[in-house]
Amino acid sequence: MKSVSLSEILLNAQKSNWAAGHFNISNLEQLRAIMEAAKKFNAPIMIGLSEGERKFVGLRQAVALVKAFKEEYGLPVFLNPDHSHSVDSAKEAYDVGFNSIHIDLSKLPFNENIEGTKEVADYVKSKNPEISVEGELGYLRGESRIQKEVIKIKPEDLTKPEEAAEFAEKTGIDRFAGAYGNSHGISVDEPALDIERIKAVRYVLPERVAMVLHGGSGIPDSQIKEAIKAGISNIHVNTEIRTAYAEALRKFLADNPEETTPYKIMAPAVEAVRIKVEEKLKLFNSVIRI
């Protein structure tokens, strides 16, 4: 298989109106389910681990697991340290073998965010210019779970196009994550993406910089399609696959209290995640892209 870079894939997605899926994992079962769905549809795929997920799985272990699937399935797979909240944690992920980087210093003042993001981009590019680096600007609320209360997104949370352009230019990033009315987790009320803002950011960013939508769970399909049309080429989903996994596992354990064989207990959870990921890959129009 010819090796294709993540930047090439995301540029192709941007031009042809589809988005690559980024799915989070905290164990082998979720990874297997995602990879089976990707294999079925010949879809390029990103596997993400947040700092908490990384701590649980182990950085080296995540690299080894993804490498094994990549070799066996022959797909472009990119392992991403999702929301690295410090320069050191992003660099560490690169050093152990992650082949995509996300540095998220969006909680810091604008100039400090630029400084730290640039440091990571320079570090990674000096070692391998092909690795795609993502930076983040704007305030993304929520956590990857089903929210109990309404998440109030304030106008000042949202990414300003003129700042997005300056941020991308000064940091040298390849992927830009912004706040457009999205939030992490499934919110009580229906999210309303600011599609015009996505278009405005797309307009000011260089074509080579891909736009990432975080917080993909709970956003109605029609809005996801609009967001892709407006210029999003990479969508992150975590809560919906976590929920599918946990619900299937709870049901199996309740229905089969005597079962003790782990691979039998886990099978319905793997299946539930696979079905959910297939749904998302179809929605993102990410089917047969290799």
CB of 126 to ligand 13P, least distance (A): 26
Stretch that binds ligand 13P, among 130-138, 197-205, 233-241, 260-268 (CB under 6 A): 233-241
**Residue closer to ligand 13P (CB basis): 162 or 286:** 286
CB 155 within 8 A of CB 195: no
Binding mask 240-279 toward ligand 13P (x if CB under 6 A, else -) reads ----------------------------------------
Residue 82, interface with ligand 13P (CB under 6 A)? yes
**Residue closer to ligand 13P (CB basis): 51 or 226:** 51
Stretch that binds ligand 13P, among 29-37, 116-124, 201-209, 214-222 (CB under 6 A): 214-222
Q: Which residues contact 89 (CB under 8 A, 6 or more apart)?
A: 51, 81
Residue 239, interface with ligand 13P (CB under 6 A)? yes
Binding mask 166-205 toward ligand 13P (x if CB under 6 A, else -) reads ------------------xx--------------------
CB 76 within 8 A of CB 43: no
Residues annotated as catalytic (active site), given as ranges:
82
Stretch that binds ligand 13P, among 60-68, 198-206, 209-217, 247-255 (CB under 6 A): 209-217
Q: Which residues contact 26 (CB under 8 A, 6 or more apart)?
A: 49, 53, 56, 57
- In degrees, rounded to 5, the angle at the alpha carbon of residue 241 between the alpha carbons of residues 181 and 266 is 165
**Residue closer to ligand 13P (CB basis): 68 or 286:** 286
Given candidates 132, 144, 234, 286, which one binds ligand 13P under the rule CB under 6 A? 144
Tokens, residue 216: 């993909």
Interface with ligand 13P: number of residues (CB under 6 A): 15
Given candidates 7, 117, 171, 217, which one binds ligand 13P under the rule CB under 6 A? 217
**Residues 235-273: b if buried by 16+ CB within 10 A, e if exposed:** bbbbbbbbbbbeebbeebeeeeeeeeeeeeebebbbebb
**Residue closer to ligand 13P (CB basis): 91 or 214:** 214
Residue 7, interface with ligand 13P (CB under 6 A)? no
**Residues 175-206: b if buried by 16+ CB within 10 A, e if exposed:** bbbbbbbbbbbbbeeebebbbebbbbbbebbe
**Residue closer to ligand 13P (CB basis): 113 or 243:** 243
Task: Report the alpha-carbon distance of residue 2 to residue 151 in Å, rounded.
Answer: 44
Residue 238, interface with ligand 13P (CB under 6 A)? yes
Query: Of 103-142, which residues contact ligand 13P (CB under 6 A)?
Result: none
CB 46 within 8 A of CB 234: yes
Share of the chain residues as helix, strand and coil, in percent rounded to the nearest 5:
50, 15, 35
Q: Which residues bind ligand 13P (CB under 6 A)?
A: 24, 48, 82-83, 144, 184-185, 214-217, 236-239
